[in-house]
């Protein structure tokens, strides 16, 4: 039997020497900042009963949690989050303790991430929770503490982004649509998928609600966002205006204490843990491609534990900060403002020619791109833009990790790989369809046996059959998947079809269309915020040409 006694599980790692020193430095800076602000440390158990994390609302998908069993057969989970255990603690042992309670934590979290994506399944987080105080002042205190904490270990320029989840919740109250459509709208706003959002909203009757929803993901940037929001929200439900005024007040207060340069606003910030109730915020560093701080007000969470108290808090990724600190050779100095150079990852092959044509149409000198030979990294002359040529799935990986700001990739790969990024534009080329196909003259849905499906897209295939409530056996094939039914390895295939000739020439017919696909422009979450102007200009130029071409 193979023994796993020399390696660590995927998503975990040993920390050595300089890495430990770097983490310690981050930890001790944050400890000092939190303690000076009057916060007291608590440590919650490394594993807890599953029930703590599955109360009235399911805040974490159960498949993301590590589970184990106690000696009575009860399910327990390795701590996936610190805020929920602290809500439990405050509602039990600390019930009746003088308010407001100011607590901080410094502990590991365990969450399952999709494999081989360079993501850690063990995360070290430090953060604070301010409980029992619903005042405006407490929101400001927590936001400034977050900025101060990050600045104490700052290795590159910092931005704090603020939003209000109540805006989206209220719009959903007013929208007459079923819950499935609402979930899709939520998904498209949080992914800044403007095109798909518009397409969904087009199906509904035009109203001020749909008009606001359409613009919501675009409402981000500096204080000019408030003006746009005011015009858009004018005459709508009073509560929406109150939320807008609240965010404005937060912005003004942060400006008054000298943080104006740091603050950005995003009304489309809806992708936070479900327990947030109003103000939400994130912290970004220009050298890191993902948020390093995440937090918000969660006034309903403690009620789940029978202790109805307002609360606000944030968590900081100590690992990400420590790795960033190490990369910058331990320098605590603030680096220059982020440069505006853009790196675009382009899918090699099928989409390459169309993408380069589009670059040419928006004025890039594309000679070097066309004559690149075996080079994988090409600079666009006269522009602060580099193009990286990569395989489709790698485009997503590079953009997700922030080593590329933008990517051009097919929807097929996005559906199969998933990932966290903004999907901002349907480029209109690379059009094809996902289909279920089977040998001519066979009855795919007939008979009782479990069908075997060959595919290069196991996730897409599994999702498709899961939605149908149908058990199938999915077999992963790397290419020329049409061979599998000929060789009698499979009863059908799930694949992309462009002209249909490969199917035809191999005796297969379409049983069902799954969905249309085309190339998309995707953007790294942090780049979108930190390089907004240059990215916005590029999107606008591309969008104009895409419309002209259609
Ligand atoms: C894709 C797809 C089909 C074919 C469909 O394969 O998997 O096999 O193209 O195109 P058509 O409808 O125009 O005939 P691809 O060319 O990417 O090669 P691979 O299967 O070897 O990966």
Cα(496) to ligand 1 centroid in Å equals 7
Question: What are the boundaries of each domain within the chain?
Answer: 15-155+291-332, 342-430+519-549, 432-517
In ligand 1, the atom with minimum distance to the C-alpha of 502 is 14
Query: What pLDDT does residue 455 have?
Result: 98
Contact between 420 and 400 under an 8 Å Cβ cutoff? The reply is: yes
For the record, the structure tokens of 374 come out as 């075996």
Length of the chain: 550
Model confidence over 89-116: pLDDT tens digits?
999 999 999 999 999 999 999 999 877 7
Say what the pLDDT of residue 54 is.
82
CA dihedral 324, 326, 331, 337 (to 10 degrees): -20
User: Quick one: residue 243, left, alpha or beta (phi over 0 = left, psi -120 to 50 = alpha)?
Assistant: alpha
Please list the helix, strand and coil fractions of the chain in percent, rounded to the nearest 5, in that order: 40, 25, 35
Percent of the chain with pLDDT over 90: 83
Measured distance CA(433)–CA(514) in Å, rounded = 7
SS3 78: strand
Helix or strand or coil: residue 470?
A: coil
Residue 198, helix vs strand vs coil: helix
Q: Is 501 in the pocket of ligand 1 (CB under 6 A)?
A: yes
Dihedral sign computed on CA atoms, order 220, 224, 229, 232? negative
Q: How far is the CA of 433 from the centre of ligand 1 (A)?
A: 11
Distance of CA 351 to the CA centre of its chain: 25
Q: Which pLDDT score is estimated for 273?
A: 60
Q: Does 502 contact ligand 1 (Cβ within 6 A)?
A: yes
What are the CA-CA distances from residue 117 to residues 62, 63, 419, 476 (Å)? 20, 17, 9, 19
Separation in Å, CA 3 to CA 6, 7, 8: 8, 9, 12
pLDDT band at 531 (very low <50, low <70, confident <90, very high): very high
What are the structure tokens assigned to 354, written together? 């169309």
Q: Distance (Å, rounded) from C-alpha 56 to C-alpha 85?
A: 15
> 497 in ligand 1 pocket by Cβ < 6 Å?
yes
CA 199 / ligand 1 centre spacing (Å): 28
**What was the pLDDT predicted at 336?**
47
Q: What's the burial of 285, exposed, middle or buried (CB within 10 Å: 0-12/13-18/19+)? A: buried
Q: CA–CA distance from 225 to each of 189, 230, 279 (Å)?
A: 16, 9, 16
Mean pLDDT of the residues in the chain? 93
pLDDT band of 272, cuts 50, 70, 90: low
Give the span between the Cα atoms of 251 and 182, in whole angstroms: 29
Cα–Cα–Cα angle for 245, 247, 248, nearest 5°?
60
Residues 280-303: pLDDT tens digits?
999 999 888 899 999 999 998 999
CA pair distance 454, 478, nearest whole angstrom = 10
Q: What is the mean pLDDT of residues 147-166?
A: 90
Given a contact cutoff of 8 angstroms between Cβ atoms, the answer to whether 315 and 293 are in contact is yes
State how far the Cα of 475 lies from the Cα of 493, in Å rounded to an integer: 9
CB 153 within 8 A of CB 332: yes
**Superfamily of the domain at 15-155+291-332:** Bira Bifunctional Protein; Domain 2 (3.30.930.10)
List the beta bridge partners of residue 342.
Answer: 385
Question: With 70 as the cut, is the pLDDT of residue 330 above it?
Answer: no
- 474 three-class SS: strand
pLDDT confidence bin for 274, thresholds 50/70/90: confident
For ligand 1, whether the C-beta of 234 sits within 6 Å is no
Atom of ligand 1 nearest to the CA of 349: 17
Closest ligand 1 atom to the C-alpha of 505? 14
Encoding tokens for residue 133? 């105080």
CA of 543 relative to ligand 1 center, distance in Å: 28
Q: Are the beta carbons of 33 and 148 closer than 8 angstroms?
A: yes
Q: For residue 345, how far is its CA from the centre of ligand 1 (angstroms)?
A: 22
Record the tokens describing residue 364, joined without a space.
């890039």
With a cut of 80, say whether residue 52 has pLDDT above it.
yes
Q: Count the Cβ atoms, other than its own, within 10 Å of residue 136.
A: 12
Give pLDDT tens digits for 56-68: 556 778 888 999 9
> Are the CB atoms for 404 and 398 separated by under 8 Å?
yes
* Model pLDDT for residues 384-396, shown as the tens digit of each residue: 999 999 999 999 9
* Torsion over CA: 236, 269, 174, 298 (sign): negative
Residues 6+ apart with CB under 8 A from 357: none
Q: Is 496 in the pocket of ligand 1 (CB under 6 A)?
A: yes
75 and 49 Cβ atoms separated by less than 8 Å: yes
Q: Which fold has domain 432-517?
A: D-Maltodextrin-Binding Protein; domain 2 (3.40.190)
CB of residue 499 inside a 6 A radius of ligand 1: yes
Per-residue model confidence as pLDDT tens digits over 437-467? 999 999 999 989 999 999 999 999 999 999 9
Structure confidence at residue 340 (pLDDT): 75
How many Å apart are CA 138 and CA 366, to the nearest integer? 53
**248-256 — which CB contacts under 8 Å span 24+ positions?**
249/136, 250/136, 250/139, 250/140, 250/143, 250/162, 250/279, 251/162, 251/223, 251/226, 253/136, 253/140, 254/140, 254/143, 254/144, 254/160
> Rounded to the nearest whole angstrom, what is the distance from the C-alpha of residue 479 to the centroid of ligand 1?
8
Amino acid 114: pLDDT: 77
The answer to whether the 15-155+291-332 and 342-430+519-549 domains have the same CATH topology is: no
CA angle, residues 37, 38, 39, in degrees to nearest 5? 100
Residue 498, ligand 1, Cβ within 6 A: yes
**Residue 500, ligand 1, Cβ within 6 A:** yes
| Interatomic CA distance for residues 8 and 14, integer angstroms | 8
Q: In CATH, what number does 342-430+519-549 get? A: 3.40.190.10
* Total-model pTM: 0.90
How are beta strands 293-297 and 519-523 bridged, if at all?
unpaired
Q: Whose CA is nearest to atom 5 of ligand 1?
A: 497
Q: Which of 8, 482, 92 is nearest to 306 (CA)?
A: 92
Q: Which of 479, 484, 490, 508 to mutate to test the pocket of ligand 1 (most atoms within 8 A of CB)?
A: 479
Compute the distance from residue 119 Cα to the ligand 1 centre, in Å. Answer: 31
């Amino acid at each position: 039997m193979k023994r796993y006694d020399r390696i660590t599980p995927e998503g975990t790692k040993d920390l050595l020497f300089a890495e430990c020193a770097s983490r310690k430095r981050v930890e001790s800076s944050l400890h000092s900042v939190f303690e000076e602000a009057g916060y007291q440390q608590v440590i919650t158990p490394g594993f807890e009963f599953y029930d703590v994390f599955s109360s009235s609302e399911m805040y974490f998908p159960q498949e993301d949690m590590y589970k184990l069993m106690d000696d009575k057969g009860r399910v327990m989970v390795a701590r996936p989050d610190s805020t929920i255990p602290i809500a439990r603690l405050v509602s039990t042992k600390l019930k009746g303790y003088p308010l407001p309670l100011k607590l901080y934590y410094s502990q590991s979290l365990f969450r399952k991430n999709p494999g081989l994506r360079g993501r850690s399944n063990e995360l070290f987080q430090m953060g604070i929770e301010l409980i029992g105080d619903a005042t405006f002042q407490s929101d400001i205190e927590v936001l400034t503490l977050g900025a101060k904490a990050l600045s104490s270990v700052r290795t590159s320029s910092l931005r704090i982004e603020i939003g209000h989840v109540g805006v989206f919740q209220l719009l959903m109250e007013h929208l007459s649509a079923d819950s499935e459509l609402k979930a899709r709208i939520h998904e498209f706003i949080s992914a800044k998928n403007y095109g798909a959002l518009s397409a969904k909203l087009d199906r509904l009757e035009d109203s001020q609600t749909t008009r606001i929803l359409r613009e919501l993901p675009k409402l981000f940037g500096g204080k000019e966002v408030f003006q746009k929001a005011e015009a858009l929200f004018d005459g709508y439900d009073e509560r929406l205006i109150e939320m807008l005024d609240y965010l404005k007040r937060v912005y003004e207060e942060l400006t008054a204490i000298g943080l104006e340069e740091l603050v950005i606003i995003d009304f489309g910030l809806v992708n936070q843990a479900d327990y947030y109730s109003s103000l939400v915020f994130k912290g970004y560093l220009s050298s890191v491609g993902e948020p390093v701080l995440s937090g918000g007000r969660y006034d309903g969470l403690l009620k789940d534990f029978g202790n109805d108290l307002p609360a606000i808090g944030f968590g900081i990724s100590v690992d990400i900060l420590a790795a960033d600190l190490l990369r910058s050779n331990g320098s605590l100095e603030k680096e220059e403002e982020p440069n505006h150079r853009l790196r675009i990852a382009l899918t090699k092959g099928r989409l390459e020619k169309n993408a380069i044509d589009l670059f040419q149409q928006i004025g890039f000198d594309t000679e070097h791109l066309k004559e690149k030979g075996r080079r994988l990294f090409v600079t666009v002359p006269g522009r602060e833009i580099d193009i990286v040529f990569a395989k489709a799935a790698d485009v997503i990986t590079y953009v997700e990790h922030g080593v590329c700001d933008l990517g051009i990739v097919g929807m097929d790969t996005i559906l199969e790989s998933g990932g966290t990024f903004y999907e901002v534009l349907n480029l209109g080329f690379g059009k094809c369809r996902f289909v279920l196909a089977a040998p001519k003259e066979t009855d795919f849905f007939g008979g009782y046996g479990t069908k075997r499906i060959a595919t290069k897209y196991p996730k897409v295939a599994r999702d498709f059959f899961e939605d149908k409530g149908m058990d199938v056996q999915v077999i992963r094939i790397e290419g020329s998947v049409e061979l599998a039914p000929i060789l009698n390895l499979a009863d059908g295939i799930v694949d992309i079809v462009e002209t249909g000739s490969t199917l035809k020439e191999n005796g297969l017919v379409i049983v069902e269309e799954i969905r249309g696909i085309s190339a998309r422009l995707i953007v790294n979450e942090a780049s979108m915020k930190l390089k907004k102007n240059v990215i916005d200009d590029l999107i606008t130029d591309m969008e104009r040409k895409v419309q002209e071409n259609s």
